[in-house]
Amino acid sequence: TDPLSSVDPEIARVLELELGRQRSTLEMIASENFVPRAVLEAQGSVLTNKYAEGYPGRRYYGGCEYVDVAEQLAIDRAKALFGAGFANVQPHSGASANAAVLSAIANPGDTILGLELAHGGHLTHGMKLNFSGKLYNAVAYGVDPETFRVDMDVVREKALEHRPQVLIAGWSAYPRRLDFAAFRAIADEVGARLWVDMAHFAGLVAAGLHPSPVPFADVTSSTVHKTIGGPRSGFILSNDADIAKKLNSNVFPGQQGGPLMHVIAAKATAFKLAAEPEFVDRQERTLRGAQILAERLTADDTRAAGVDVLTGGTDVHLVLADLRESELDGKQAEDLLHEVGITVNRNSVPFDPRPPMVTSGLRIGTPALATRGFGDEEFTQVADIIAAALTPNPDVAALRQRVENLTEAFPLYPGLEQW
Ligand code: PLP
């Protein structure tokens, strides 16, 4: 019954400091967000105590009558939100969802074809140190060296050349929409399953602001914690009844033991909130924020400083700043923005001349600030601060002050004293 602060003051201090950090800085890591208080409450609950191997109504443990309700709500809400016939909400993370997907639709040694990691793909799409690159014969398509976009003719050529069992569409760092119908046609032509990993843009899909992959893909996987803004975790959708059965058995017992019922309850809450009008408004502000940022970083002064934006703009919640011509490399730019109070991550650009620990790019996302309440006006200010930081002779103290003014005007978790 003792509070954390008396049981474990060291960890309590970490929580306090982290809450302070989140409150006093501008979070622009494209894969992050702030969960609502309701999600914090569901996740920090007694449901963490419960073992529930199996699925609702078919458990290997007693006492599941209430957690069954939570999981069924999460399943039903995920299906309704994305118009899917089947949902599995048990994956602990995006990576474990993806492990289950591949084990359901491919056999070890099969060929999988996805977007090159260095061009914006994800580790679980075939990186050689990841399970996906070790268990499967992973091959990749890259973006076009001129346009930096995925060229469907190249995807088709690669698919015809390698005849993959699984064609993967999805990304972690790519600022444009993918053509799911074209991916479907190529998958059909070469007899591949189409797997779309919408982890990054799922919130935009749920809001109707990005085409849905669900009608085209054999399987769609996602995380809940990026644009959706729910608890860290994953889920999987499908409209194919046979694949659905395989997905269930490949999540449990294939990949996981007991599901995290407190996280599943929090997912249910996040999916409920994602069906509300405020969610659409938040996703609209997210998109506009990214567009405002892209416009600002392609203005004359930033271009003159060697700063540009890959593909010239964005259709999604992130911008890829291109620093190949800048004196600042990705690492220096990340550190400089950190000093100013803006958190981003450096990111290799395709065909990057600088090494991966340095890079020539920044990935800058707007979801967390949109959740914090930012609209056009605030995103215009943020874009100005970033532009000033990336052009010569920035006044770091003045920029830090502008960041502080914004964080104070949009308090995070007002009234929350601990966690
Ligand atoms: N898939 C994509 C496209 C991602 O960007 C990520 C996260 O970075 C994941 C999967 C993995 O999610 P997690 O970090 O929850 O394992």
**pLDDT digits over 274-325, tens only?**
999 999 999 999 999 999 999 999 999 999 999 999 999 999 999 999 999 9
pLDDT in tens, 87-138: 999 999 999 999 999 999 999 999 999 999 999 999 999 999 999 999 999 9
* pLDDT at 265 exceeding the cut of 70: yes
Q: Which of 334, 392, 388 is nearest to 359 (CA)?
A: 334
- CA-to-CA distance for 236 and 268, rounded, in angstroms? 14
Residue type, 20: G
Q: How confident is the model at residue 270 (pLDDT cuts 50, 70, 90)?
A: very high
Distance 125 CA to ligand 1 centre (A): 10
% residues pLDDT > 90 (the chain): 98
Q: Could you tell me which residue, 261 or 418, shows the higher pLDDT?
A: 261
- Ligand 1 atom nearest the C-alpha of 96 is 16
Catalytic residues: 51, 53, 197, 223, 226, 232
Q: What is the number of other CB atoms lying within 10 angstroms of the CB of residue 164?
A: 26
Q: Residue 16 — pLDDT band, cuts 50, 70, 90?
A: very high
For ligand 1, whether the C-beta of 352 sits within 6 Å is no
Report the pLDDT value the prediction gives residue 416, as an integer from 0 to 100: 86
Enumerate the H helices of 252-356 as residue ranges.
261-274, 277-297, 300-304, 330-340
In the block, which residue shows the tokens 């990935």? 363
Q: Are 407 and 24 in contact (CB under 8 A)?
A: yes
368-397 average pLDDT score: 98
Pocket test for ligand 1, best of 92, 130, 172, 201 (most atoms within 8 A of CB): 172
| Ligand 1 atom at shortest distance from the alpha carbon of 233 | 15
Check whether 418 has a pLDDT greater than 70: no
Tens of pLDDT, residues 128-137: 999 999 999 9
- Mean pLDDT computed over every residue of the chain: 97
Rounded Cα–Cα distance for residues 154 and 106 (Å)? 23
What are the tens digits of pLDDT across the range 21-79?
999 999 999 999 999 999 999 999 999 999 999 999 999 999 999 999 999 999 999 99
CB 206 within 8 A of CB 277: no
